[in-house]
Structure 1
């Protein structure tokens, strides 16, 4: 659990340098998300430190970066606006507890059921969201105190520095991989701006614009233990529980999908249930140390992976370096040009977006292409949790619709004069109508056999459909036999109990999925 280093002898250097790069990129994001949630900048910075540290140590995915995120911030803002920040801390604490319970009950494994088109839509949508979030850095505060788009020389300088940052990140690895190209790009651009005394906006300028305070700074002390100051009553629980459920779901979905993405990139396997527990422990800690909580961050995780960070040490380094920035190094961070950080995030966008999904649109089924576009659009328009839920539901409905067509029968008269319907394909909620239309009740002989050797009864809708068919034959004075039907299904067919004939010797042992079977 606490194996911080991978087997590669130089991984410690890679992980620490990668952690430094991630920490630099975390600062403006944590500050921005704090303002989205309606809390002080340090509340977001503390969350980035606490969630990043504990998730890196306890979580189930080495190399994944966690911190304060926009997906959670947009849910928190209404709670803070109505009830205040103390209720937010109580909600984050309860959120963490719910996430730990999800891990204890091993719910993390269900993320593996997310269809691949939904995953493609997820990464594409997040890439677009990350890109759109960077556009805010192209705005400056005018004399009237309103944000305006950059123009003229300021805009050209910003674009030039962004292009330089991206070029260094792209081309430096072709020359050497001794140090992360992202870190080199940030250092070079920062040195260039101050060496040539260029008028480029810095992290400090961004902080001043966000707060409206000319003395704004990210400097602060250690987070202190703080029990949320709220009444411990049922009324408080009624207020915070809905928010906690939504935040816990969003946090786990984003974290587990990011885990799955990094699994694919690194060709390794993380532990989803352990990640649930790690995220929960991190958020409980946030709740009692005055932080806004968080989850996995796909952008920073991609920076870490691309910079060579693979082990838990990279995430731990990022969190500890971020804390050092808050305690003693705020002046160094505040002087970093925003253009350098925007360039880094633009490279993350290019690396995150699944460009192959554009090429395969005409090669995959239209339903899959639709799901990719739908999930991407919903991610941008709303949030990740809604997008994934919509994508899974649409994929499930498409699957049900397609498989509903795959049921048919081969019928013949056997040596005893009985008509045998040899059923092929599954019977489930989507195929029951097609199933009932396969039988000619009016013209069939007195004795009918349905052969289930090549079919499966999968849900209670199928059981009800068989009951309906039995009633139809019974009402016409005909006898229906069900052969090769599971014992569990026979027990549920209460209306057909005295009509069912089952060949016990040849019966398969499959079971019917029904709540009444426990």
Structure 2
């Protein structure tokens, strides 16, 4: 990565200012992911508050930012669409319980199994996804009710302010690090945007703001739903209306089934939009409670398991990335527990759940945030925006936030990986490209990581399947010694069997495991089978330097082989303390 994430010491001032910067960038992200999930913008904002606050205070990685994410939203949307938003909250609570159980079971250490090539692919793919996601900010609503890209002067002015934002973030640290460059860029471009919008002689704002983005997305969603409802009514199909767009539905009912007026529907939906709200309340005070029985558990359990896996994979990958940038070490198991507790509380207060946010975490690190106070500040500021400062926050131009995210993209992408391609093994290059491509085209970070780990494991197994060999010698008593070299596991069992000449070997045969290790049940079963063959020929098999765990598992061969205990070495194994 480029050196945008310079090493800085943690301080209260840096954490507070960085937290404010992150909070400003969290608003449009939380709103956008709420639309993806099919819930109201306030649910997304409340979720970002609870997830961000609790993980910052109790999670395993200071300086990492968590909130409502797209990875969780794409899972939630199917549940909300099929069963209703009432089923969402117990699902998020169950997801939190599962994550806490994984943390208590100390399974966060499994993140060590992610190869570096997968990490490279993940980071590069993520940078591309973040960059492509910003293109949606260059769209506006057409008279027909469709989202179209900006053209003409509006596009030119927005590109100019995006470039100005990026320029400030790049140049200001060379002059001073007293304040985060991202915060200065957002405030500067916001003031310019307000001046441009007030002086521009155009209908609506010349430069789109956060408020414009919210209204545009609300109108576009309402119009799309109205058109779908009209088509359904016209074909005498049953229609399920979304509570969030009740006003839009009334507008549709007043119109004909085949003709939709985008202006009428859009205005009706806009009346219900906004990020202003009160304090969050327990979900059963706002929504109808679902029955707590086996049928409900059958519905929510699959979604909760997927949410749990997606959330932890993305969070632990982000933790690893922040570890690398800050040259410190987070605690994976503690992060699992922190994420789980955050999702439990989030579900209780009617949230959509969440996990670590890589883009916002990088903004925080780039802005100097290193301690827990940065994440706590971001979460508290987000709630203050909802309670008191919504009109001001809605004036922030999208150009400023897009510029910040573009700098995150440049700083996130591993440009050095492009130079390393010629020196990397072809298998690692393939895995890196595969993970990047899957991340970009499928927008599923968790599945991309799992796919990369599986492919890397298969490549490793294939490459090491033929690495098993033996040096053969005779001892003073005339016995034959096979000193093994290489791993014995499922892929090398065939090579292991070919090493021995049971029919022509002497009565005593010794297999020396000093330079090898038995890794799985397939290897143990191969030893059992070989011992039976020697026994059937009236010959005796001796095993030396076999690890203690392998000795205890050789139950079937216990009466057929002689294991030399005095010469066996002690193997040192990584413990949970590292997690």
TM range (shorter): over 0.9
Partner of 2:230: none
Contact 2:10 2:369 in 1 (8 A): no
Equivalent of 2:450 in 364, 376, 389: 389
* Residue 495 of structure 1: how far off its partner (Å): 4.8
Partner of 1:98: 98
TM-score by length of 1: 0.93
1:261 matches 2:321: yes
CA change 1:494–1:194 in 2 (3 A) is: closer
Matched residue of 1:431: which SS? helix
Equivalent of 2:277 in 220, 235, 242: 220
Partner of 1:516: none
Contact 1:488 1:511 in 2 (8 A): no
Aligned length: 505
1:239 matches 2:299: yes
Partner of 1:71: 71
- What are the superposed Cα offsets for residues 370-396 of structure 1, whole Å, 9 maximum, x if unpaired? 121111122223311111111111222
Of residues 325-334 and 466-475 in structure 1, the stretch that sits farther from structure 2 once superposed is: 466-475
User: CA–CA distance in 2 between the matches of 1:19 and 1:303?
Assistant: 9
* Residue 506 of structure 1: how far off its partner (Å): 2.2
User: CA–CA distance in 2 between the matches of 1:188 and 1:486?
Assistant: 65
- What are the superposed Cα offsets for residues 151-193 of structure 1, whole Å, 9 maximum, x if unpaired? 2222222211111111111111111111111111111111112
Matched residue of 1:501: which SS? strand
* Residue 492 of structure 1: how far off its partner (Å): 4.1
User: CA–CA distance in 2 between the matches of 1:376 and 1:10?
Assistant: 33
Contact 2:540 2:561 in 1 (8 A): no
Partner of 2:562: 501
* Residue 255 of structure 1: how far off its partner (Å): 0.9
Of residues 372-381 and 163-172 in structure 1, the stretch that sits farther from structure 2 once superposed is: 372-381
Equivalent of 2:416 in 356, 360, 363: 356
Equivalent of 2:209 in 202, 215, 219: 202
Equivalent of 2:496 in 432, 435, 440: 435
Partner of 1:421: 482
CA change 1:17–1:401 in 2 (3 A) is: same
Partner of 2:56: 56
* Residue 486 of structure 1: how far off its partner (Å): 4.8
Unaligned regions of 5+ residues in structure 2, if any? 1-7, 201-205, 220-268, 574-579
Partner of 1:87: 87
Of residues 338-347 and 453-462 in structure 1, the stretch that sits farther from structure 2 once superposed is: 453-462
* Residue 473 of structure 1: how far off its partner (Å): 3.4
TM-score by length of 2: 0.83
CA change 1:406–1:170 in 2 (3 A) is: same
Equivalent of 1:472 in 502, 526, 533: 533
CA change 1:407–1:45 in 2 (3 A) is: same
* Residue 251 of structure 1: how far off its partner (Å): 0.7
* Residue 478 of structure 1: how far off its partner (Å): 4.2
User: CA–CA distance in 2 between the matches of 1:85 and 1:504?
Assistant: 62
User: CA–CA distance in 1 between the matches of 2:10 and 2:336?
Assistant: 30
* Residue 424 of structure 1: how far off its partner (Å): 1.7
Contact 1:94 1:244 in 2 (8 A): yes
CA change 1:502–1:323 in 2 (3 A) is: closer
* Residue 445 of structure 1: how far off its partner (Å): 3.8
CA change 1:441–1:305 in 2 (3 A) is: same
Contact 2:122 2:436 in 1 (8 A): yes
Of residues 339-348 and 103-112 in structure 1, the stretch that sits farther from structure 2 once superposed is: 103-112
Aligned 1:366-405 pairs, distance under 5 A: 366-382=426-442, 383-405=444-466
CA change 1:136–1:401 in 2 (3 A) is: same
Of residues 371-380 and 479-488 in structure 1, the stretch that sits farther from structure 2 once superposed is: 479-488
* Residue 446 of structure 1: how far off its partner (Å): 4.3
Q: Which has the higher contact order (CA 8 A, sep 6+)?
A: 2
CA change 1:321–1:397 in 2 (3 A) is: same
